[in-house]
C-alpha cells in the first residue's frame, strides 16, 4: 500500500449512475475521483485506474481499466484490463467493485473493510 491517494477516473453512463458511483467512492475516501467527461478534450491525462461503462476520452491513459457492463447498472461480468492482460470478475454490488480496486489499484488503506 502507498500513502498517496490513487487517481481514479470515471467514464460511466448513464449520468445518474456515474454520479451515484462517484458519491459512494468519495464517501469511502481512498481515491481522488475524477469524472472523465469533465476533462478538456484531447488533453493527456494519467490515472491509476479507470472505471468505465463507455469508451475513454481521447488522451486518457491508465494501467488499470475496469469495464463494467453498460446495460445492467454496472452489475454482472466486468472485465479488468491490467498489465496487458484481461480478467473477468463478477461485480454484483459496490463492495465487489471496491474489492477489485483493492486488488488492482491499492490505496493508502483498503476500500473494503
CATH number at residue 87: 3.40.50
Q: What is the pLDDT of residue 42?
A: 74
Number of domains in the chain: 1
**Which uninterrupted H or E stretch holds 82?**
strand 76-82
52 falls within a domain? yes
Rounded CA gap, 54 and 60, in Å? 13
Query: Above 70 in pLDDT, residue 102?
Result: yes
Integer Cα distance of 60 and 41 in angstroms: 10
Q: What is the pLDDT of residues 80-99, one digit of tens each?
A: 999 999 999 999 899 999 99
Asked if 80 and 100 touch (Cβ cutoff 8 Å), the reply is yes
In a domain, 73, yes or no: yes
Task: Determine the pLDDT at residue 73.
Answer: 61
Range of the domain at 99: 7-104
Cβ–Cβ contacts within 10 Å for residue 69, how many? 14
Amino acid at each position: 500500500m502507498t500513502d498517496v491517494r490513487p487517481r481514479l477516473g470515471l467514464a460511466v453512463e448513464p449520468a445518474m449512475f456515474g454520479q451515484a458511483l462517484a458519491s459512494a467512492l468519495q464517501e469511502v475516501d481512498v481515491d481522488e475521483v475524477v469524472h472523465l467527461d469533465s476533462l478538456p478534450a484531447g488533453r493527456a491525462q494519467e490515472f491509476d485506474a479507470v472505471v468505465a461503462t463507455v469508451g475513454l476520452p481521447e488522451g486518457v491513459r491508465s494501467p488499470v481499466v475496469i469495464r463494467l457492463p453498460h446495460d445492467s447498472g454496472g452489475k454482472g461480468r466486468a472485465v479488468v484490463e491490467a498489465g496487458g492482460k484481461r480478467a473477468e470478475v463478477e461485480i454484483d454490488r459496490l463492495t465487489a467493485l471496491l474489492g477489485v480496486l483493492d486488488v488492482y489499484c491499492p490505496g493508502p488503506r483498503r476500500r473494503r473493510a
